[in-house]
Amino acid sequence: MRLDETHDPARKSWIESANEPGCEFPIQNLPFGIFRRKRSKEAPRGGVAIGDRILDLAAVGVKTGSTLNRLAAAGGTARKALRALLSRALSDPKQKKRFAKHLVPMAQAELFLPVAIGDYSDFFTSLHHATNAGRMFRPDNPLLPNYKWLPIGYHGRASSVVVSGTPVVRPSGQRKPPETPAPSFGPSRRLDYEAEIAFVVGPGNPPGKPIRVRRALDHVFGVVLLNDWSARDLQAWEYQPLGPFLAKSFATTISPWIVTLEALEPFRVPAFVREAGDPAPLAYLHDEADQREGMFAIEIEMHLRSAKMRAAKMRSARLSRGNYATSYWTPAQIVAHHASNGCNLRPGDLLGSGTISGPAPDSVGSLLELTMGGKQPIRLPSGEQRGFLEDGDEVIECGRCAREGFATIGFGEAAGIVKPALVVQSVA
């Protein structure tokens, strides 16, 4: 671990809300995002979350424009220096008069996508999810033979990545249940969520130049929460032979705050321990330091609140709690594999982890697994049942890192409410 004064759990901020128990954004976190005041004509700009406030990065001479892509491209040395500057400014009471005027209450701020996303790839790094889902789609062959040799991924749709709070319209597409002779077109009846995180690319690589696994995290800016909304009935019909398409491309929700790799340093853990008989990673995917501390213990929870629950002012129901540390492939391995063929990654690109599912029944990251493909519906506190998502359901993803001896940090939310499908008019 590479720890410094910014990780000191005893460090406090002169912004009192940052010191309260349970605060997601203590001074040890300092995630970056894009914001502006609500109902203002201000241009969106970069800020850092601290307690229940946002500090305008212009206060320390950093003018990002409407995205954080330039900050991402600047790399770890510049990011670490900025983090140290912010930590000192927000912990020194003598700096309060200078910086307080640059603070905006979060309740009065509008948040945007933190980066302009040129490309989005989603991986399949959880062995537990791959096995669970495989049993439903391929009962006779749940885990394909290449899974333990390389990080499986697909190219997602960057244009439909949206920030938390954006409504998600139920998608339509072709569906073909096994008992019907031909497919039909209409709204998905098996809409699902997928609990994930995503790594935001920092400095990229030129076309044709691979990234070594031992240097792969030098190309990562930070982490956001990611909900890869999935239409399971569309997916089951279309995914062979080329993989997900319309079942995934309609919406992907991310949280607005990028938690930097520096903030995550105290939460490094060893890579997944492979079973005896599993193949060792090929040389381009193997590094001793990555195996020793290349994973991050990030706890992910999925919550659901139906329209009925909101009307009754009921709290959301937690459906699951998993941990990214149970994933089979490390972030350095997915970066190295992505670039191994010479693919050029660019600042602001997203690399999704894939659904985070653990070994326990309540640690799975999708309704597909939680309800056994809809066959065992869950019961909500309102008395309603869910096999898959209904219109009006609000899905809320939360994340945090906690470790004894260090301050607990959070990620905010990746949330969205399901809206009814749009009516598709036939053309004569």
Confidence of residue 257 (pLDDT cuts 50, 70, 90): very high
Q: How many residues does the chain have?
A: 428
> Which CATH number is 27's domain given?
2.30.30.230
**Could you tell me if 65 and 138 lie in one domain?**
no
**Could you tell me if 198 and 272 lie in one domain?**
yes
**Could you tell me if 72 and 166 lie in one domain?**
no
Q: Mean pLDDT across the stretch 181-203?
A: 97
Strand arrangement, sheet containing 103-105: 103-105, 53-56, 45-50, 32-37, 109-112
- Closest to 334 (Cα-Cα) out of 244, 242, 219: 219
| pLDDT at residue 8 greater than cutoff 60 | yes
- Residue linked to tokens 């709690």: 321
**Could you tell me if 214 and 263 lie in one domain?**
yes
In a domain, 346, yes or no: yes
In a domain, 428, yes or no: no
In a domain, 427, yes or no: no
Confidence of residue 424 (pLDDT cuts 50, 70, 90): low
Final residue before a domain boundary, out of 70, 86, 112: 112
Gyration radius from the chain CA atoms? 22
Q: Mean pLDDT across the stretch 312-324?
A: 98
**Could you tell me if 77 and 178 lie in one domain?**
no
CA dist., res. 307 & res. 222, Å (int): 34
Query: Is there a catalytic annotation at residue 337?
Result: no
In a domain, 424, yes or no: no
**Could you tell me if 169 and 294 lie in one domain?**
yes
What Cα–Cα distance (Å) separates residue 239 from each residue in 79, 163, 244, 251, 284? 40, 26, 5, 17, 29
**Could you tell me if 229 and 339 lie in one domain?**
yes
In a domain, 294, yes or no: yes
**Could you tell me if 308 and 368 lie in one domain?**
yes
In a domain, 178, yes or no: yes
In a domain, 357, yes or no: yes
Which of 7, 128, 129, 337 is labelled catalytic?
129
In a domain, 210, yes or no: yes
Final residue before a domain boundary, out of 85, 112, 139: 112
Helix (H) or strand (E) holding 32: strand 32-37
Structure tokens given for 189: 């009846």
Q: Mean pLDDT across the stretch 336-354?
A: 98
Into how many domains does the chain fold?
Answer: 2
pLDDT of residue 155: 95
Reported pTM: 0.97
> Which CATH number is 168's domain given?
3.90.850.10
Give residue-wise pLDDT tens across range 214-243.
999 999 999 999 999 999 999 999 988 888
| pLDDT at residue 423 greater than cutoff 80 | no
β-strands 394-401, 299-305: how paired?
A: antiparallel
pLDDT of residue 212: 98
Instruction: Output the CA torsion 71→76→81→86 (10° steps).
Output: 60
- Closest to 176 (Cα-Cα) out of 225, 240, 87, 119: 240
Q: Mean pLDDT across the stretch 43-64?
A: 98
pLDDT of residue 428: 44
Confidence of residue 425 (pLDDT cuts 50, 70, 90): low
| pLDDT at residue 168 greater than cutoff 60 | yes
Final residue before a domain boundary, out of 93, 112, 131: 112
| pLDDT at residue 204 greater than cutoff 70 | yes
Percent of the chain clearing pLDDT 90 (strictly above): 94
**Could you tell me if 167 and 304 lie in one domain?**
yes
How many other C-beta atoms are found inside a 10 Å radius of the C-beta of residue 203? 18
**Could you tell me if 124 and 108 lie in one domain?**
no
pLDDT of residue 427: 47
Q: Mean pLDDT across the stretch 129-138?
A: 87
Q: Mean pLDDT across the stretch 3-11?
A: 97
pLDDT of residue 136: 83
Structural domain of 379: 120-419
| Mean residue pLDDT across the chain | 96
Tell me the three state secondary structure of residue 125: coil
Paired strand residues for 174: 185
**Could you tell me if 104 and 126 lie in one domain?**
no
Structure tokens given for 395: 């899905």
**Could you tell me if 124 and 91 lie in one domain?**
no
